[in-house]
Copies of this chain bind each other. A is one copy, B any other.
Amino acid sequence: MRTRERILRAAAEVFDESGFSGGSISRIVRRSGTTMGAMYHHFSSKEDLARAVMAEQDADLDFPPGEDGLQRLLDMSMEVARQLRTNVLFRAGVRLAVEQGDFGMRESAPYELWIKRFTEQLVAAERRGELLPGVDVEDFARALVGAYSGTQLLSEISTGRADLLERIATMWRYLLPGVASPEAISWLRIEAAPEGPQP
């Protein structure tokens, strides 16, 4: 692994274990097996590291293949739930995005990234006639990112994410009738995607 990646991964591990406030730069550097000099060559501060870990939500997921549309949106959302349980870099990014207020950050970029991703699938779904008339795709994508963020937070706090896949499936069961055409609902499947490659 290149130095920047080693530091980023070490930061994710430390933030995943202890949060931003509980994780020190010196512990991250020690964990990475690099040096303070290397760390400050790549990142200007702990906030900068946190921002980079959050931004990795964009890069580090391996979504299941499939045609764009509602089924793929469902599959992606279940894959996200699985990755939250297994992928430290991703999980740390989500945790930082939720808890960032406590360390004085307010970055909407990690949320906008998911709104954009979900909107793409919804635009395809609309083209394929899978949506109810009158659904505003960006509006719903934003509602979905909000609902998803809180559902995973509640699952984390109440069960350490043991019930996460079930909770995301439940969220979808209540959301689909407000967004999907009855015909689409008849063939859509809400289930975890097959295991993808691990990061």
Partner of A143, one of B112, B149, B170: B170
**Inter-chain contact B174/A178, CB cutoff 8 Å:** yes
9 smallest beta-carbon distances between A and B, as pairs: A150-B150, A149-B150, A146-B151, A147-B147, A174-B178, A102-B102, A99-B102, A19-B102, A177-B178
Q: How many residues of A contact B (CB 8 A)?
A: 46
A-B contact pairs, 27 of them (CB 8 A): A18-B104, A19-B101, A19-B102, A21-B21, A21-B102, A22-B103, A95-B101, A98-B153, A99-B99, A108-B157, A111-B157, A111-B158, A143-B167, A143-B174, A146-B147, A146-B167, A146-B171, A147-B150, A147-B151, A148-B150, A150-B151, A150-B152, A150-B153, A153-B153, A173-B178, A175-B178, A176-B178
Interface residues of A in 98-125 (CB under 8 A from B): 98-104, 106-108, 111-112
A167 — nearest CB in chain B belongs to which residue? B146
Q: A106-B157, A149-B150, A149-B154 are in contact. List 18 more A-B contacts (CB 8 A).
A: A19-B101, A21-B103, A22-B102, A98-B99, A98-B101, A98-B153, A101-B157, A102-B102, A108-B154, A108-B157, A142-B154, A145-B150, A146-B151, A146-B153, A146-B155, A149-B153, A175-B175, A177-B178
